[in-house]
Amino acid sequence: MFTPHTPQEIEEMLRVIGVDSIEALFERVPAKHRFPKLDLPEGLTEMEVAAELKEIAAANASTEDFISFLGAGAYDHYIPAAVDMILKRGEFYTAYTPYQPEVSQGTLQAIFEFQSLMTELTEMDISNASHYDGATATAEAAILAYHSFRGKRKKVVVSPFVNPQYRETIRTYMNGLDGVSVVGDQGDLGIQADFTELSDLIDKNTSVVIVQYPDFFGRINDYTKLVEKAHEQGALVTFVFNPTALGILKPPGAFDADIAVGDGQPLGIPISYGGPYLGIFTIKDKYIRKLAGRLIGETVDEEGNRAYVLTLTAREQHIRRERSTSNICTNQGLLALAATVYLSLLGKTGFTQVANLCYQKAHHAAEQISKLDGFELAFPDTPFFHEFVVKTPKPVNEINLHLQNHWILGGYDLSQDYQDMENHMLVAVTEKISRDDIDEFVAALEEVTNA
Amino acid sequence: MKTPKDLKYTKTDEWIKVDDDQATIGITDFAQDQLSDIVYVELLVDEEETITKGDSIATIESVKAAADVNSPASGTIIAINEDLEDTPELLNSDPFEAGWIIKITLDDPAELDDLMSAEDYEAYNEEREG
C-alpha cells in the first residue's frame, strides 16, 4: 500500500482540522458500505497468475490469424517494421507533452514533420499536433465552429453518413452548450438520401456542416454544391476524411473545406481493439486562434542553427483555462510519430500505391461478390474507395459466424446503426488482402447461400 | 507613462471616458506596457449586446500573456473597434485614442463613482511597481 504520511503527520493533520480519527472523516458513509466484504478467490503466486493470463490470452485471435474484411473506421493496413523500431526508441517513448518543450528538440521536430505532412495530405493551411482519435477530432471541429460564431449560431448539421460513433461523440461534446441542436445525423433522411436534403437544413443559424469523405458506406461523394450552400449561409464546412483515400482522391482543401479531420489509425497504427488512435485536425489559417492544442514552428537559434519551438498554444487549457476551446493538452505524440514515420517510409509514390491497391482490390472484390446469387451492391452507381455495401441474402451476423469457421472476419453489420439496413454488410478491402483471400471470401459467402 | 486626467480607471487596468450618457472603454498605457507586444485582440461582444459591469468584453494576447478586458460599466454596446482585428498593435501605440475597444451607452452613470481618478490610478501603479 502507498502510505505517503507518517503517523505523526496524520495526527498533526487531524488535530488541525479538529477530527479525532481517520474513521471520523467517513462518518457520513453508512458503516455497512465502508468496507464491504469482497467475494474474491484465494491469492495466487506470480507463476500461477502468469499461467492463467496466458491461457486467457490464448483465446484471442487477431488479424494475424484472420483474413479481415472489417473496416467501418479502423483498417488493417500493413505496418512496416521500422515504424515500431523508431517508436520504441527511449527518446520518443512517451505520450506526454514536453512541459519545457524547447529542450525536447527531437519531439518538436517530429511534431513539426507531422503537421507538415498533414497539411500536405489535406491541402489545408494548418494542422495541430493531434487529438485523441477521429471521433473526438470531429466533435472538436463542431466546438471550434460553435466558438468561432461566439455561440450565436446554434445548429450543427451532420450528414447521416458520418461514422455513427463519431456522430454520437459530436452529440456528447455538444451536450450542455446553450441551446445547440444537432440535426441531420439521425438517419431519418433515409439511406438513399442525396445531399439536397441535407443542404436544405443549412441556414443562417448553422455554425458547421459535417460530412464524411469517403462516407461511412465507403462512397465518394462530390460535396462541391453542399460546400457552396454552406458558405453562402456563412457556415463552416468540416470534412471527416480517411487519410489513405487522400492518396488518390481530391483533398478536402481543394473542396474549400474550412476544417478537415480524420482518424490517423490507417497510417501505421495497429487496430488494437479500437485504440489508442490518432485524431488529425487541420484548418484554414483564419481559424488558427480557435485551434485547440499546440503548433510547432521551425526557426533558427542565436547561432543560426535550425531549431524548433512551440509557436502557438493560443487555445490551450493551461493558458486559457475556462476560455480554451478544448481541454485537450496531451496530444497523441507517440501515434503522431507513428503516422509521420509511416508516411516518410512510404513516400509519396508508396503512399499513392497503397491507396491504389486498396481501390483496385476493393473493386475486384465488389465485382466478384456481386456476381453471387442473392448478393448485390447497395449503391452500384456511386463511386467508392476501399469499402462498399453489399445486400446479403441472410442476416449479416449469421453470415459472419459462418465466415469465422473459415478464419475470415466478415464485414460490418450495418443494421446495428441503420434501421432500414437489415441484411447490409459493409466490406473493407486493404492492400493486405490478396487475390486468393478474395477468392476464399467469395467462396465462403457462396457456401452461406447454399447452406 | 500616460494617464489622461479626464478618464476613470479600474484596478484591472481599463479606462472609461464618459461623454453624457455614452462612454468609451479601453486598456491603459500601464496595461499595454506590462503585456508588451500585442499580437491579437479577440472581441467577445458585439454591437447592440448588453453588458454588465465586470463582464469580459475582449481577450488580448501578447507575446508574453493572454489577458481579459473587463467592462468598467454596464450598458449597451453601440460600437466596437474593428481596426483592432487587423492592427492589434494600436493598443500598444495609442491605447487611449486609436486603441479604444468598445463604446457603450451607460445604464447607470453612478456605477462609475467607485472607479479611480487619474491621480488615484497613478498612485496605485506606483504601489504595484514599488
Report A:145-184 residues touching B (Cβ under 8 A): 150
Inter-chain contact B66–A319, Cβ cutoff 8 Å?
A: yes
For residue A289, the chain B residues in CB contact (below 8 A) are 40, 42
Inter-chain contact B44–A150, Cβ cutoff 8 Å?
A: yes
Following DSSP, what letter does each residue of A328-380 receive, concatenated?
A: --S--HHHHHHHHHHHHHHHHHHHHHHHHHHHHHHHHHHHHHHTSTT-EESST
Predicted pLDDT at A196: 83
Closest alpha carbon within chain B to A320: B66
Predicted pLDDT at A332: 81
Closest alpha carbon within chain B to A323: B59
Predicted pLDDT at A98: 64
Across the beta sheet with B8-9, the strand order is B8-9, B14-19, B22-27, B102-106, B75-80, B50-51
Q: Choose from B56, B57, B59, B84 for mutation: most chain A CBs within 10 A.
A: B59
Q: How many CB atoms lie within 10 A of CB B58?
A: 24
Q: Where are the alpha helices (DSSP H) in A35-160?
A: 46-58, 81-87, 105-122, 134-148
Question: What's the gap in Å between the CA of B9 and the closest CA on chain A?
Answer: 25
Inter-chain contact A320–B66, Cβ cutoff 8 Å?
A: yes
A289 near B CB under 8 A: yes
Q: How many CB atoms lie within 10 A of CB A357?
A: 18
- Burial class from Cβ neighbours inside 10 Å (0-12, 13-18, 19+) for residue A149 reads middle
Strands A259-263 and A236-241: parallel
For residue A315, the chain B residues in CB contact (below 8 A) are none
Across the beta sheet with A126-127, the strand order is A126-127, A279-283, A259-263, A236-241, A206-213, A155-158, A181-183
Predicted pLDDT at A45: 96
Bigger pLDDT: A102 vs B101: B101
What would the pLDDT profile of A398-442 be if each residue is shown by its tens digit? 999 999 999 999 999 999 999 889 999 999 999 999 999 999 999
For residue B59, the chain A residues in CB contact (below 8 A) are 323
Question: What's the gap in Å between the CA of A92 and the closest CA on chain B?
Answer: 29
Asked whether the predicted pLDDT for residue A315 surpasses 60, the reply is no
Report A:319-348 residues touching B (Cβ under 8 A): 319-320, 323
A243 contacts: CB under 8 Å, gap ≥ 6: A121, A262, A263, A264, A266, A267, A280, A339
The predicted model scores a pTM of 0.85
Inter-chain contact A314–B40, Cβ cutoff 8 Å?
A: yes
For residue A319, the chain B residues in CB contact (below 8 A) are 66
Asked whether the predicted pLDDT for residue A446 surpasses 60, the reply is yes
What would the pLDDT profile of A28-52 be if each residue is shown by its tens digit? 999 888 888 889 999 999 999 999 9
For chain B, the structural domain boundaries read 8-129
Chosen CATH of A81-342 out of 3.40.50.720, 2.60.120.10, 3.40.50.460, 3.40.640.10: 3.40.640.10
Q: Is residue A13 within a helix (H) or strand (E), and if so which, with residue range? A: helix A7-17
Inter-chain contact A150–B46, Cβ cutoff 8 Å?
A: yes
Question: What's the gap in Å between the CA of B40 and the closest CA on chain A?
Answer: 9
What would the pLDDT profile of A254-299 be if each residue is shown by its tens digit? 999 999 999 999 999 999 988 899 999 999 998 988 888 888 999 9
Report B:53-82 residues touching A (Cβ under 8 A): 59, 61, 66, 68
Question: What's the gap in Å between the CA of A233 and the closest CA on chain B?
Answer: 20
Question: Which among B40, B44, B68 is the nearest to A289, CB-wise?
Answer: B40
B122 near A CB under 8 A: no
Q: Which of A19-33, A358-372, B73-87 has the lowest mean pLDDT?
A: A19-33
For residue A320, the chain B residues in CB contact (below 8 A) are 66
Closest alpha carbon within chain A to B65: A319
A88 near B CB under 8 A: no
ipTM of this complex: 0.70
Inter-chain contact A314–B59, Cβ cutoff 8 Å?
A: no
The domain defined by B8-129 folds into OB fold (Dihydrolipoamide Acetyltransferase, E2P) (2.40.50)
Question: What's the gap in Å between the CA of A319 and the closest CA on chain B?
Answer: 7
Chosen CATH of A67-77+348-450 out of 3.30.160.100, 3.90.1150.10, 3.40.50.2020, 1.20.1070.10: 3.90.1150.10
What would the pLDDT profile of B43-90 be if each residue is shown by its tens digit? 889 889 999 999 999 999 888 888 899 999 999 999 999 999 889 999
Question: What's the gap in Å between the CA of B38 and the closest CA on chain A?
Answer: 13
For chain A, the structural domain boundaries read 67-77+348-450, 81-342
Inter-chain contact A314–B61, Cβ cutoff 8 Å?
A: yes
Closest CA to A226 of A158, A317, A174: A158
